[in-house]
Structure formats: structure tokens, C-alpha cells
Structure 1
Amino acid sequence: MKETTSFGLTITPIRAWTHIVDLPAFVFWHPSYRFRGTAAPDADVSLTFSLLKGELPLTTEARIIAYERAHRLAWQTGLGGIFALREEYAFAGTGAQTQVRHTIAVEGVLSPLGYLARRGLRKAMQAQDAALIRYLSKEARGNGLTVNRHRRLVRKAQLARKAAQ
């Protein structure tokens, strides 16, 4: 099973990609994902996500399977050939216009069970995309000037507090 959404942004592809590969910053915009680790080719990172409207947090390892500067970031998690979830953000565009394609694919022996949750997955992806659009729009407006040291220190402190929670 595979679901894909797409949307446009008024931000350059490299800036959009830079924000997506900042995995610890997902805490600022993503409704349910919390990453620990740094995105790099073939890196293993810790991923905590919520099921059942946030009542069942699950932590697993995710492997970065695509890391293409300004073009694509993808990760995969799961149980070998039994169940695998692959998520990808792909960026295309020129200048200050970027088209983002968000894809989630469920693979493996248990993948037919994904069809039962297809409607919920589609709604979750739309909520994730809307949150990303809000976050990147705010970042694009707020970063018109150079980022000063105070702002970086405040952001670093916010990340540390969120990680401690």
C-alpha cells in the first residue's frame, strides 16, 4: 500500500530540505514524530511516534535510506520482511518555488492490513503536510534577516527542553 500527497511552498528546495533533515526539529511541527539522532546516509536514528491519537507511543529504530541534498530524504522502519513502513519527502523546483511530494509506503507480509487504515493514514498525512507548511512558512518569514546568536541559543534550549520531556 502506498499513499502520496503533494503541495507547493514558497521557499527554495534547499531550505525546505534543510528543515526536513533537521530531525530533532520535528518536535516543533510534526504532530506525532520525535526523532533522536542526525540524518545522514544509511544512519540509524531513534523514532518515537504515537498511535491511537497519541495514547500509545512507540519507539523504534529508523534507517535513513535516501539522503539527497535538496532533493530527497527517506527513512524506513519495521520488522524485516513482515512489516516495513517507508516515508519519503521529495523536493523539486527552481528559485523560490518548491513542490513537495510526501509518500508513505507499507510493505511486507502484513502490508494488506495497511488497507484497513488507509483513510486514517490519508488524514494523518494531510495533517502532517499542513503542519509542515505552517512551520516552513513561519521559518521563511522569520529568516528573512540573518539569524542572530540569541535566536540560535533560544532554539537550542527549546530543543533540549523538548527532548527532556
Structure 2
Amino acid sequence: MAPEDTRAAASAIPGVLPAPLPDPEQSNGSGPVLGPVTNLPLPRFLSMKTERTNVRRGPSKTHRIDWEFLRRGMPVEVVAEYGHWRRIRDHDGMGGWVHYALISGHRTVLVEQDMLELRFRPDSDSRITAKLEAGVIADLDECTLDWCKVSVAGYKGWAPKTALWGVMADEIRE
């Protein structure tokens, strides 16, 4: 869906459109784009709080449900804000609007590489602590420029950031 289509569908009142959404792709060079509601950076990653979440065409309950998330903890990228609504995008690029109460600040990542080796230290020569299948959702702990420490089902370890979806390439977490 083109951004113009989203803005046109964003109002339940014919002829009335909400304020233009910030475009995370266009920064004025003075720093990150901040959301008009939360004043937090856009885009940013969060996770789904519930097992079943309606994803709507626009930012209100009057807008049609386009599809549903059926997996709690799935990482999503927040790309816009409007009132109590957040426009999100998933790993496959599918997007829509969800109520902020259905999104959690708990950070997770989606494993993109099949049989991803978790390492004891952030080093490719470090011993392997576990192997994860593609599609596994893991809790995100800390990150360096190239590695992230994750945990899932009692296993912990470091994985190359490039094998994970749900963390920014330049993000560092302590």
C-alpha cells in the first residue's frame, strides 16, 4: 500500500485527514525522526503482546481488519504513530495499524538463518552453546555493533546481528 493510500484511509470522517505521518526515510540530518506521539525514534522495534492481534487498514477500530498476527512475541518495526495507534511492519514487509496496547516494549528477534549457531562469546571462534532453526523467536539482551546476545528456552548465546531480524544494524544495547 502506498503511503498516500494509508493517509487517505486514516480518517473515519470523509474529507478529513490526519496530520501527515513522519517519513522515517527522510531525516533532516539533525538526528533520528521522532514519533509525534511518543517522541521515540522512528523506526524502532518492539514485539507483539498478544497471541492474536488485528492489523487494520487505518488508525481506528472503524477501519477494516486486513490480517491478524497469530504469534505472541513476534518482533515488529514501528514506522509511524497516530494517537493510540502504531503503524507496524513485520519481517515480510507486511504492515498496518495496531492499537498501542497490543504492542510490548519487550524486545525479541526473529532468527533468519537456519541452524544458527549461538556462541559463548561474541566471536566466531567461541564455543557453540546452541543451534536455532530459522523462524525461532528469541529474547534480545545486549548487542555490540556486530553481535547480539539472545536467549530462548533456557539457552543463551551470541549470534551475528546479520542473522537476526528485529534489531537495527547500528543498534548497541548494554
Q: TM-score, normalised by structure 1?
A: 0.25
The structure whose Rg is larger is 2
**Which has a greater percent of strand?**
2
**Which has a greater percent of helix?**
1
Greater relative contact order (CA < 8 Å, ≥ 6 in sequence): 1
